[in-house]
A and B are shown apart, each in its own frame.
Chain A
């Protein structure tokens, strides 16, 4: 098996797992959002790695170049980055709103407060 040929994919997967770990294991809501954005960028890395052609250049048509990298993946990721910042902003806004309402942003404390409210 070719290690160098798949190294990009493996780094993308490792980043995705770091993100997954942060989302599942960490209790702080902002930390979860950081993990979510790590996961997102790992997907970007996977796509751009798939689109790369060795010896290619950026997909702007110019004389003297014949090999270009795949423009389709670039388009998909370009829009995905802008959407990712939009989702992150909504998530942060929700976190701020939760902090105002509950006074904490750790998910176990929020759960405890919810349960206490249910019992009343």
Chain B
């Protein structure tokens, strides 16, 4: 049921020409996604999605739309080619899922590879009951260091992109 709602808001966000409505729909979509993560047992992910997707992304989107313009112009050509491309790719991908293990199967390859080790040993080795935190910070510490660096770089990049422009405009005026 949630999946259907998610799909509907996603399609609507792309369909609408009014970008403001699109951005709001994207926020609703993120909130629905967060609910879906809770249903699928991913509470940490739900937390992040609710804070980032529904809160921060919407605010940034609204600011960007406000700085550029809120209406998309009507299309000049019929989008048959992208539509066909998307449909063919989607069909091939669905064909690929036929071999995938059933949803929720405890014997799926993803479930028997490295996850049981984490679940059995994480608390004894790190003293942290939340396995997600211990895997994030300890077993995959390198990975997380990389992610933090990405976020840091993005922040710096935005400051340079938007702040540098302002300085140039000021020199133009003087």
Say if A and B assemble together. Answer: yes
Report the nearest B residue to A99, measured CB to CB: B68
Chain A 21-34 interface 0/1 with B at a Cβ cutoff of 8 Å (1 = within): 11011111011001
Please report whether the interface of chain B is mostly helix, strand, loop or mixed according to DSSP: helix
Asked whether A9 lies within 8 Å of B3 as measured between CB atoms, the reply is no
Contact of B45 (CB < 8 Å), options: A10, A74, A87, A96:
A74
Asked whether A88 lies within 8 Å of B143 as measured between CB atoms, the reply is no
A72 touches B (CB below 8 Å): yes
Chain A 50-71 interface 0/1 with B at a Cβ cutoff of 8 Å (1 = within): 1111111111111000011111
Q: How far is the CA of A19 from the CA of B45 in the complex (A)?
A: 21
Asked whether A89 lies within 8 Å of B42 as measured between CB atoms, the reply is no
With A61-B131, A92-B64 known as contacts, the answer to whether A86 contacts B154 (CB < 8 A) is yes
16 A–B contacts, CB within 8 A, in A order: A11-B6, A14-B7, A24-B85, A27-B75, A30-B65, A34-B22, A37-B26, A48-B37, A51-B42, A60-B131, A61-B122, A72-B114, A72-B115, A81-B49, A82-B52, A92-B60
Report the nearest B residue to A8, measured CB to CB: B103
Q: How far is the CA of A26 from the CA of B83 in the complex (A)?
A: 11
B28 touches A (CB below 8 Å): no
Residues of chain B within 8 A of A71, CB atoms compared? 115, 118-119, 122, 131-132, 135
Asked whether B26 lies within 8 Å of A7 as measured between CB atoms, the reply is no
A110 touches B (CB below 8 Å): no
Contact of B52 (CB < 8 Å), options: A22, A49, A74, A85:
A85
B72 touches A (CB below 8 Å): yes
Asked whether B115 lies within 8 Å of A70 as measured between CB atoms, the reply is yes
Residues of chain A within 8 A of B147, CB atoms compared? 79, 82-83
Asked whether B42 lies within 8 Å of A74 as measured between CB atoms, the reply is yes
A4 touches B (CB below 8 Å): yes
Asked whether A48 lies within 8 Å of B42 as measured between CB atoms, the reply is yes
Chain A 81-105 interface 0/1 with B at a Cβ cutoff of 8 Å (1 = within): 1111111111011111101100001
Asked whether A11 lies within 8 Å of B3 as measured between CB atoms, the reply is yes
Residues of chain A within 8 A of B103, CB atoms compared? 4-9, 49, 52, 54
Report the nearest A residue to B164, measured CB to CB: A97
The 8 A-B residue pairs with the shortest CB-CB distance in the complex, in nearest-first order:
A54-B104, A86-B154, A25-B79, A25-B82, A5-B102, A24-B82, A69-B41, A17-B90
